[in-house]
Structure 1
């Protein structure tokens, strides 16, 4: 894909790396959640949802969780001032959700 071309999910998924980006975002989230100061009962429950995705119990994937909780994730990353995660979240929202 040429640099000036933007991927367009309505035309083709070529050049869009939804799975890679969602995995990266979840890894970034987990780095924050290992700090007890940044977690709370909501995020503890969310961690269980992540485990359910990984075990296959939920039948969902990371993208589904990100899409379902995008506002919560955005607020969390704003609260912890993680600009890189916010940029990646926005990219996932635009390209994949």
Structure 2
């Protein structure tokens, strides 16, 4: 008898879901814009910025090549953004970051 991995004749059909349908009604772009304003609230202050955040600001403006959309930039830097909000105990921004990460990334 052949192994079970080769018995696909009677295997149930795999349901496919269009993952983009799940974003219907979620304002990912608006939430990302708001999250960027929370980030800028911190990193625009000289005492809270560093070389990474200065580079981040330039990237957000498109100064280092094509301007990425806010959601892509957030998704690409989730850990650094989380660390920033934790460092400055910004619970409101952390809550929004969690929503954006779960719903949009």
Could you say which TM-score interval applies, normalised by the shorter chain?
0.7 to 0.9
Q: Which runs of 5+ in 2 are unaligned?
A: 1-17
TM-score by length of 2: 0.75
Partner Cα distance (1:24, 1:95) in 2: 15
Select the residue among 89, 92, 99 that pairs with 1:91. Answer: 99
**Is the contact made by 2:82 and 2:97 (CA closer than 8 Å) also made in structure 1?**
yes
Question: Deviation string for 1:1-41 (max 9, x for gaps)?
Answer: xxxxxxxx944322211000000000111111121111001
Q: Which runs of 5+ in 1 are unaligned?
A: 1-8
- Larger relative contact order (Cα-Cα within 8 Å, sequence gap ≥ 6): 1
Q: How many residues align?
A: 86
C-alpha RMSD of matched pairs (Å):
1.7
